[in-house]
Structure 1
Amino acid sequence: MKPEDVHKSGPILSMNSVEVLYNSVMLAIKGVSIEVPHGGMVALLGSNGAGKSTTLKAISGLLTAERGKVSRGEIRFDGNVIGDSLPQERVELGICHVIEGRRVFEHLTPDENLEAAAPMSLSRGRVASEKARIYDYFPRLGERKTSLAGYLSGGEQQMLAIGRALMTQPRLLMLDEPSLGLAPFLVAEIFEIIKRINRDHGLSVLLVEQNALAALDIVSHGYLIENGRVVMHDTAERLKANSDIQEFYLGGGQARSFHDIKHYRRRKRWLS
């Protein structure tokens, strides 16, 4: 996390017309282009199966574990093409991906989980200070730091997953559905902490969420992805004000996709 990154020009992350194939057959995302500015917070919104998680895996390099690959397009991090970089090399560059499902070492304590995530290059004193900083952001983790992680609540495990990510000293933090399965008050608490970390350290954040309302409250810009394509990109305020976004993503609408809403509106105008 480097505060000076906030002042750099150009995006820290850019994807240009990226396509992803699974098993050399199935096209999962189709020409996706997104940007995350230095020190910025951006949301990637969409329904289940839209291609959000695949987009993050393309950036972090985790596609190969699922027989996926970037078949077209370009991914740049801090101006450098990273398409051929191994996942561990991308972590060393400063890309950290918190995957969906709160993956923590359940047989270890939160304290041990944090130490396990620390880079080998960090001194013992630096590891201790980083842990103290994370406990300052997540006080309830500090209270449970000697308990086994498997006995933590869902919200506490999500806090630990984010804390582990912060121990890697990221420059770009990618979060995949951090609100999944959590009570609204916990979602609000975790998102407010993410916002505070961004403000304090200039950490760039790419947030994948189905909970559009919570996400748009903390980011500056958002992209809406449907069926593997970006169908809308705007500021958070404009997205919240968009009637179609309100109907489906903010108002509990019953349409199957954003495309269904647009089709319904066109049909309604034609019939009237």
Structure 2
Amino acid sequence: MTADAAQATGTAPGTILSMSNVEVIYDKVFLAIKGVSLEVGDGQMVALLGGNGAGKSTTLKTISGLLAPERGEVTRGHVHFRGEDLAPLSASQRVQRGLVHVLEGRRIFGHLTPEDNLLAAYPVRGSRARYQQLRDQVFTYFPRLKERSRTKAGYLSGGEQQMLAIGRALMTEPKLLMLDEPSLGLAPVLVEEIFAIIREINANEGVSVLLVEQNAAAALEIAHHAYLVENGHIVMSGEADVLRQNPDVQEFYLGGTGKVDYHNVKHYRRRKRWLA
């Protein structure tokens, strides 16, 4: 983002994505996120942490333009991507701008091979040579997909399907890669492998990453910055190393000591609501 664009949108230079005081309502009744503000810097990896129903997935769908099919709408606030207001843009236009969302649950075409899945994600107007370059890049990051490139994707393991979902996103040449629960349902060894590849993609390709995760320990290992969301509010943010050392985060999101003082749990919840 240029300095002029940053000044016009009220964001800091070097910021690829900014959300400012965003509220989202479903069915014109349920307030899902309440004044969420966050930023992702160029080349930065940011984690968005929280429990079930905290508002993490809604935040990603707000950015990618996928609220409407679920009868959700932004009722307040602004989202800017590379200095441009996203409100007038459709989901497909946002992808064209370089913003791609890997949904929770590994949404791949099970009846197609991994290679055909990659081809389906590649822009129609792209050249054959560029397609082959991007496909080979995906196979370099995920060699297991190359080994199984002619197997129907529905027969891949859960970890391989997650690799394919990320690989499909890379075929669009994203500037910002948003990942919703990539560790969901995977064995710890696979989570470690996939997160290591995400970190490699971020470092090698300069792709910014916004990572939604319930596995806070894994996310904080690879993220530069993190936000903690509870009940639709951002209640804590900071450098990932700082959050990892925070005693409240350790107790409630990193396993803690195993000794829970329920009086302090109630106090912590009250305090988080007050901070929000």
Alignment TM-score, normalising by the size of structure 1? 0.91
Q: 1:261 to 1:147 in 2, by over 3 A?
A: farther
Cα shift at 1:129: 1.2
Q: 1:263 to 1:109 in 2, by over 3 A?
A: closer
Describe the SS at the equivalent of 1:159. Answer: helix
In the TM superposition, what are the counterparts of 1:1-272 in structure 2 within 5 Å?
A: 9-251=13-255, 260=266, 262-263=268-269
In 2, Cα distance between equivalents of 1:223 and 1:47: 12
In 2, Cα distance between equivalents of 1:23 and 1:264: 28
Amino acid at match of 1:196: E
Describe the SS at the equivalent of 2:69. Answer: helix
Amino acid at match of 1:105: F
Does the CA contact (< 8 Å) of 1:22 and 1:68 recur in 2?
yes
Describe the SS at the equivalent of 1:24. Answer: coil
Q: 1:264 to 1:24 in 2, by over 3 A?
A: closer
* Structure 1 counterpart of 2:8: none
Does the CA contact (< 8 Å) of 1:9 and 1:38 recur in 2?
no
* Structure 2 counterpart of 1:3: none
Describe the SS at the equivalent of 2:33. Answer: strand
Structure 1 residues 56-79: Cα deviation after superposition (integer angstroms, max 9, x where no partner): 000000000000000000000011
Amino acid at match of 1:251: G
In 2, Cα distance between equivalents of 1:194 and 1:95: 16
Percent identity, aligned pairs only, is 60
Does the CA contact (< 8 Å) of 1:255 and 1:261 recur in 2?
no
Describe the SS at the equivalent of 2:87. Answer: coil
Structure 1 residues 242-262: Cα deviation after superposition (integer angstroms, max 9, x where no partner): 000000100166799x97461
* Structure 2 counterpart of 1:5: none
In 1, Cα distance between equivalents of 2:120 and 2:210: 24
Amino acid at match of 2:148: R
Describe the SS at the equivalent of 1:168. Answer: coil
Structure 1 residues 41-92: Cα deviation after superposition (integer angstroms, max 9, x where no partner): 0000000000000000000000000000000000000111111211111011
Q: Which ranges of structure 2 fall in alignment gaps of 5 or more residues? A: 1-11
Q: Which ranges of structure 1 fall in alignment gaps of 5 or more residues? A: 1-7, 267-272
Amino acid at match of 1:244: D
Q: 1:62 to 1:265 in 2, by over 3 A?
A: closer
Describe the SS at the equivalent of 1:128. Answer: helix
Structure 1 residues 107-161: Cα deviation after superposition (integer angstroms, max 9, x where no partner): 0000000000001222111111111110000011110000000000000000000
Q: 1:126 to 1:255 in 2, by over 3 A?
A: farther
Alignment TM-score, normalising by the size of structure 2? 0.90
Matched length: 258
